[in-house]
């Protein structure tokens, strides 16, 4: 029997329409190159987004066209989020920090028709100009006075474009499964792959992301997304915060500058902010050096990489800020799990809560999680068993752009039962808290046991003489694989292999203690700053264990 | 361009599946006739709901069948909510306090196949047994020991039914627009009309209802829905609370008993509770008489009727409890607006906040509101203009069961532009707060002005000598209509017409002061306790104003 409810589609434009009417005076504050502290209201934001929607029509953009952005977190990028998706085009955010050939590949693969680019990133576009096959126009996101010199003849100024338009525009309503946004994920192997979000997935993700036990977004919050808007839509903050009417503070290109971040937090009384752990490291360093504080900051959201417990402890004990660690993927919009205590944790000590905050968090409503063994049998949520982590839900990718959508196919990330392979190995505690133990491809399989390379790395890095460590599995005639540790010493430290092995024996299961340690001067990293274990395995492909 | 996201349907069963895994030890506490304080966990709740789903199959229930409930707020009713909707049938909640002929009409109109009935309501079913055309079985929601004597041969005991089943059941996935629930709304005219909810509307409503600025539902909350589960799904609490893992406290048949409510709040440390204003009146009376307190209760949600400011003030000033007033309709699942401050209210005084709490609240994301004049022109949100209130959104009815679904038709509540006529007259303030001023059919149209009958009634009721008052429009040769006030004096009071008129002149606009006052001994009310103005207009249909 069909229900008798209105067939209203979930539209990104409905966020903007609601926000303009319900919170006209709320502020959005941005750092940009042409204005160190730009400030306007939701009402202005709505009017300019409608001007931009008209400008897109004038430029010749059509329903379904991909519109690329190479930009930082500011109000113009926010206008693009809403104007592009709201008028039925696809807002394709691109990471300007990728290798130039990756940027060119992504723009060409998505067939972007227009590129909106921050003035600081414009040189990258100029360098790539002969390689961008389908791009008709480049719009530089700045005012006429700040426009760069260029020999290119298809470059337009953002503010000049908007000035020519009026602010009347009716946001169209269409199927909520229409593409609204696109974000490429770049692994260590192969070309970047495009994830395509829908209006439906974006709205559902924003609602669940704003729940009290997720980020708790609300009208009285002052929210600063430090995580870039090209990094899975800044984890959805630009949708959730505006939906609920928060004040937004956008740090522009100053994403990793402790001084700017501190000034914005104190100056705008930021209560909630989100960023990767290295950002928090930069802020804490700055606070530590200057003795300054961040009294307004109640919550620091984090994700993208496991958050070192030192960051969590310092925030909690020194500044009274709770770290909310979450876990997700570009393929998951990204929210899968997030720190949120349950009633049974009401009498936990601060230490116990910090321990929980160091895990990846509790699964949110809407995302189904499971861990499976090598034969795809589901494992219990007992805090002991760990296996390959799979997920399912309405904001999770069914495939990549231009690749197979058939579950079970080799280049489709979804298995034949309809679950997305995350590529992570995890355990889940009885209270629903999930803990990533490794990447599937990095886990070391030794004599039937799975050993987490991350556990070994963390144990090694906890030695004061070790600056960074990587563990990989290498061939062993008896155990198939055994762990090899590759480490960088702290400057001036003179720890040797035996001392480190002895130290690790106290910290790890017997079978997880590496069979050998190699000290190196540097370790390879990917463009997004993660350890490049593929390169390491390649480098050590002929390595043989001494005893073997 | 289509997005590449999983096509996961929004299913009510997904709430239960998530809750069982994420919060297995969380509690649900219920008052029932066979157990004054029943207590079990989400894990038990999940297992018994699956047994009930198997029992429904055993009984012969099929996908789409309507399953009636006549029951109070307890764990068995909750099991029905999930087992019935979760297995693709329609959970049809019926108000046992309606007139028996209305109950029979509703059961027959919905063609309920089975009726689940509380032991206290069973006599009503026995009385109606010859009138229930399609009902195959009556299941009494109690244990064998508490089963009533009956001559009926199709009566089954709920616990006996469950005992025969096992707790393995795979919740099916199907189209999210499938009917999940049904609730009849009874006005002052005509037969009750059935609103049919979907899985999609229920999930979206639960998500928006749980947002921090709506009810703020979360795992650490202890939530007691006093609003009955037959009253628009207890305003959605049974979905939102379980989705986020709150402890639930269900007062069973003791919905209006101040002593029981107090005992439950203190005993279970209830932090959030929701009920109509008369319930709060009963609790505050009990607290006032006994000197007892409700220290754990942070928030009292209210709606269903305008909340008298005295309740809001007493809760705020004496008990430190914030009253969150909301507004909605059976046709709206019900949430449309709710009290929630914005950033600009951060420095409001307690008096200003109480003033805001006395309004109907700010519109939530997902519901579009508009007010229109008599020619359907949209009016501004300026806090001055008022007009007919219309709404639109994914949890709003497109029509009634068995009636026209064509917008603009006479028996369809949706106008030809796709907006639902609420039947209310409202103004909306620039900050998005909405204030109901009257019902469309009760507003008094005098010389081109709209006068709110409720404003006149509130002004009259603020006189200490007046117990209750009703205002209706009556024919006037010059002004078309003029207000007539019909009032009940307080026992022993001897106020006269002139004194009351003089009092009202200070309180109301000149054109809103009634032309006449008639004192009566009683006023007519509907089955749900609202003033029956239709009956009043009928009674005074030949009335003529003295001066006219």
pLDDT of A342 reads 85
Cis peptide bond prior to B87, omega within 30° of 0: no
Residue B485, min C-alpha distance to chain A (Å): 36
B340 and A218: CB-CB below 8 Å? yes
Looking at the 3D structure of chain B, how many domains does it have? 3
Residue A376, min C-alpha distance to chain B (Å): 19
Picking from A8, A24, A394, the nearest residue to B6 by CB comes out as: A394
Burial class (CB in 10 A: 0-12, 13-18, 19+), A6: buried
Residue A217, chain B, CB below 8 Å: the answer is: yes
HSE toward the beta carbon, residue B24, CA cutoff 13 A? 10
Rounded CA gap, B346 and A287, in Å? Answer: 28
| A348: in domain | no
Band (pLDDT 50/70/90 cuts) for residue A188 is low
Residues B67 and B210 in one domain: yes
Of the candidates B51, B81, B46, the one whose C-alpha atom is nearest the C-alpha of residue B67 is B81
Residue B121, chain A, CB below 8 Å: the answer is: no
A4 and B195: CB-CB below 8 Å? yes
Contact residues, B window 152-181, toward A, CB-based 8 Å cutoff: 177-180
Mean of pLDDT values over B353-363: 94
CATH of the domain at A394: 2.30.38.10
Residue that wins the pLDDT comparison between B495 and A439 = B495
Residue B479 has pLDDT above 90, yes or no: no
Please, are residues B411 and B401 in contact by the beta-carbon 8 Å criterion? no
Residue A465 has pLDDT above 80, yes or no: yes
What tens digit of pLDDT does each residue of B28-73 get? 999 999 999 999 999 999 999 999 999 999 999 999 999 999 999 9
Place of tokens 């004054």: B36
Which residues in chain B are closer than 8 Å to A399, comparing Cβ atoms? 4
Please, are residues B488 and B524 in contact by the beta-carbon 8 Å criterion? no
Picking from A64, A211, A363, the nearest residue to B1 by CB comes out as: A64
What tens digit of pLDDT does each residue of A304-337 get? 888 988 999 999 999 999 999 999 999 999 999 9
Cβ contacts of B491 within 8 Å, gap of 6 or more: B467
Residues A505 and A382 in one domain: no
- Number of other CB atoms surrounding residue B445 within 10 Å: 14
pLDDT of B480 reads 87
- As annotated, the active-site residues of A are 185, 331, 445, 450
Picking from A6, A344, A432, the nearest residue to B392 by CB comes out as: A6
Q: Which residue of B has its CA nearest to A65?
A: B1
Residues A214 and A130 in one domain: yes
B397 and A341: CB-CB below 8 Å? no
Mean of pLDDT values over A57-76: 98
Q: In a mutagenesis test of the B interface, which of A2, A3, A25 is the best target, namely the one with the most B β-carbons within 10 Å?
A: A3
Band (pLDDT 50/70/90 cuts) for residue A187 is low
- Which of B160, B185, B440, B528 is labelled catalytic? B185
Residues B390 and B450 in one domain: no
Which residues in chain A are closer than 8 Å to B400, comparing Cβ atoms? 4
Which residues in chain B are closer than 8 Å to A197, comparing Cβ atoms? 3, 5
The ipTM value here is: 0.91
Burial class (CB in 10 A: 0-12, 13-18, 19+), A506: exposed
Residues B28 and B82 in one domain: yes
Contact residues, B window 378-437, toward A, CB-based 8 Å cutoff: 381, 392-401, 405, 414, 418, 420, 430-432
Q: In a mutagenesis test of the B interface, which of A112, A113, A212 is the best target, namely the one with the most B β-carbons within 10 Å?
A: A212
Residue B133, min C-alpha distance to chain A (Å): 20
Residues A379 and A430 in one domain: yes
| B337: in domain | no
Residue B274 has pLDDT above 70, yes or no: yes
Rounded CA gap, A11 and A30, in Å? Answer: 25
Residue B402 has pLDDT above 80, yes or no: yes
pLDDT of A530 reads 78
Residue A342, chain B, CB below 8 Å: the answer is: yes
Place of tokens 């106290």: A506
A3 and B201: CB-CB below 8 Å? yes
Which residues in chain A are closer than 8 Å to B431, comparing Cβ atoms? 22
Picking from A3, A199, A414, the nearest residue to B177 by CB comes out as: A3
pLDDT of B187 reads 65
Rounded CA gap, A508 and A519, in Å? Answer: 20
- Residue B259 backbone zone (phi > 0: left; psi -120 to 50: alpha; other: beta): alpha
Rounded CA gap, A306 and A198, in Å? Answer: 28
B2 and A179: CB-CB below 8 Å? yes
Residue A548 has pLDDT above 60, yes or no: no
Q: Which residue of B has its CA nearest to A205?
A: B207
Residues B233 and B374 in one domain: no
pLDDT of A171 reads 98
B363 and A22: CB-CB below 8 Å? yes
Band (pLDDT 50/70/90 cuts) for residue A222 is very high
pLDDT of B269 reads 97
| A131: in domain | yes
| B469: in domain | yes
Picking from A4, A180, A401, the nearest residue to B196 by CB comes out as: A4
A5 and B220: CB-CB below 8 Å? no
HSE toward the beta carbon, residue A294, CA cutoff 13 A? 33
| B282: in domain | no
| A164: in domain | yes
Q: Which residue of A has its CA nearest to B362?
A: A22
Residues B119 and B169 in one domain: yes
| A322: in domain | no
Q: What is the mean pLDDT of chain A?
A: 94
Q: Which residue of B has its CA nearest to A221?
A: B343
pTM for the structure as a whole = 0.92
Cβ contacts of A501 within 8 Å, gap of 6 or more: A513, A514, A517
Q: Give the ranges where A316-394 is alpha helix by DSSP (H).
A: 350-357
Q: In a mutagenesis test of the A interface, which of B9, B22, B170 is the best target, namely the one with the most A β-carbons within 10 Å?
A: B22
**Is B268 one of the annotated active-site residues of the chain?**
no
Residue B411 has pLDDT above 70, yes or no: yes
Strands B449-451 and B466-476: unpaired
Please, are residues B239 and B265 in contact by the beta-carbon 8 Å criterion? no
| φ/ψ (deg, to 5) at A335 | -70, 125
Mean of pLDDT values over B448-455: 85
| B331: in domain | no
Geometric angle at alpha carbon B58, from B57 and B61, rounded to 5°: 45
Q: Retrieve residue A383's tokens.
A: 């805090």
**Is B331 one of the annotated active-site residues of the chain?**
yes
Place of tokens 């599995």: A473
B397 and A18: CB-CB below 8 Å? no
Contact residues, A window 261-290, toward B, CB-based 8 Å cutoff: none
pLDDT of B268 reads 97
Residue B125, min C-alpha distance to chain A (Å): 26
Rounded CA gap, A140 and A148, in Å? Answer: 9
Burial class (CB in 10 A: 0-12, 13-18, 19+), A309: middle
Rounded CA gap, B387 and B370, in Å? Answer: 9
Residue B527 has pLDDT above 80, yes or no: no
Mean of pLDDT values over A154-159: 97
Residues B42 and B81 in one domain: yes
Residue range of the domain that includes B393: 367-439
A398 and B344: CB-CB below 8 Å? no
Residue B522, min C-alpha distance to chain A (Å): 39
Which of the listed residues B255, B276, B296 is the one where a domain comes to its end?
B255
Contact residues, A window 177-216, toward B, CB-based 8 Å cutoff: 177-180, 195-201, 204, 207-208, 210-213, 216
pLDDT of A305 reads 85
Residues A393 and A535 in one domain: no
Which of the listed residues B439, B454, B473 is the one where a domain comes to its end?
B439
Residues A19 and A168 in one domain: yes
Mean of pLDDT values over B485-514: 92
Picking from B1, B10, B342, the nearest residue to A245 by CB comes out as: B342
Coil vs helix vs strand at A361: strand
Q: DSSP string spanning A289-324?
A: HH----TT--EEEE-SSPPPHHHHHHIIIII-PEEE
Residues A434 and A448 in one domain: no
Residue that wins the pLDDT comparison between B258 and B342 = B258
Mean of pLDDT values over A511-524: 93
Reduced DSSP (H G I as helix, E B as strand, rest coil) percent helix, strand, coil of chain B, to 5: 30, 25, 40
Q: Which residue of B has its CA nearest to A202?
A: B5
A6 and B414: CB-CB below 8 Å? yes
CATH of the domain at B69: 3.40.50.12780
Which of the listed residues A394, A419, A439 is the one where a domain comes to its end?
A439
CATH of the domain at B527: 3.30.300.30
Terminal-residue alpha carbon distance, chain A: 68
B368 and A17: CB-CB below 8 Å? yes
Q: Retrieve residue B371's tokens.
A: 């007010």
Terminal-residue alpha carbon distance, chain B: 68
């Amino acid at each position: 029997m069909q229900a008798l409810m209105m067939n209203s589609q979930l539209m990104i434009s409905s966020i903007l329409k609601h926000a303009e009417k319900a919170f006209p005076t709320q502020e959005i504050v941005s750092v940009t190159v042409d204005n160190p502290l730009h400030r306007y209201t939701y009402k202005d934001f709505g009017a300019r987004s409608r001007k931009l929607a008209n400008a897109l029509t004038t430029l010749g953009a059509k329903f379904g066209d991909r519109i690329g952005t190479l930009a930082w977190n500011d109000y113009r990028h926010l206008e693009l989020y809403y104007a592009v998706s709201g008028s039925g085009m696809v807002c394709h955010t691109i990471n300007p920090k990728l290798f130039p050939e990756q940027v060119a590949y992504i723009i060409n693969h998505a067939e972007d028709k227009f590129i909106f680019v921050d003035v600081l990133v414009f040189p990258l576009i100029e360098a790539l100009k002969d390689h961008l096959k389908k791009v008709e126009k480049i719009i530089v996101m700045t005012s006429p006075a700040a426009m760069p010199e260029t020999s290119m003849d298809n470059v337009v100024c953002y503010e000049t474009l908007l000035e020519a338009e009026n602010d009347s525009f009716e946001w169209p309503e269409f199927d909520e499964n229409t593409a609204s946004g696109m974000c490429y994920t770049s692994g260590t192997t192969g070309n970047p792959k495009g994830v395509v979000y829908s209006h439906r997935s974006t709205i559902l993700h924003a609602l669940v992301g704003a729940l009290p036990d997720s980020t708790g977004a609300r009208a009285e919050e002052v929210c600063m997304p430090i995580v870039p808007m090209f990094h899975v839509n800044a984890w959805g903050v630009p949708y959730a915060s505006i939906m609920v009417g928060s004040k937004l503070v956008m740090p522009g290109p100053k994403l990793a500058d402790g001084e700017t971040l501190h000034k914005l937090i104190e100056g705008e009384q930021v209560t909630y902010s989100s960023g990767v752990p290295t950002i928090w490291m930069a802020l804490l360093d700055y606070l530590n050096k200057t003795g300054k504080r961040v009294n307004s900051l109640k919550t620091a959201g984090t994700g993208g990489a496991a958050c070192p417990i030192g960051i969590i402890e310092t925030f909690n004990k020194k500044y009274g800020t709770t770290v909310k660690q979450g876990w997700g993927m570009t393929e998951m919009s990204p929210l899968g799990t997030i720190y949120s205590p349950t009633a049974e944790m009401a009498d936990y000590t601060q230490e116990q809560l910090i321990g929980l905050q160091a895990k990846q968090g509790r699964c949110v409503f809407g995302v189904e999680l499971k861990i499976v063994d090598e034969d795809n049998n589901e494992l219990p949520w007992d805090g002991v068993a760990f296996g390959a982590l799979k997920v399912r839900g309405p904001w999770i990718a069914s495939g990549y752009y231009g690749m197979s959508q058939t579950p079970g196919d080799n280049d489709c990330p979804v298995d034949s039962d309809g679950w997305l392979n995350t590529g992570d190995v995890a355990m889940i505690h009885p209270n629903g808290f999930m803990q990533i133990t490794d990447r599937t491809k990095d886990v070391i399989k030794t004599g039937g046991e799975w050993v987490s390379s991350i556990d070994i790395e963390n144990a090694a890095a906890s030695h004061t003489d070790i600056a960074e460590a990587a563990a990989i599995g290498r061939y062993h005639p008896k155990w198939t694989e055994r762990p090899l540790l590759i480490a960088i010493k702290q400057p001036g430290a003179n720890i040797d292999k035996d001392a480190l092995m002895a130290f690790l024996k106290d910290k790890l299961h017997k079978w997880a203690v590496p069979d050998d340690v190699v000290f190196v001067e540097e370790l390879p990293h990917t463009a997004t700053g993660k350890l490049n274990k593929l390169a390491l395995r390649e480098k050590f492909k002929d390595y043989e264990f001494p005893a073997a």
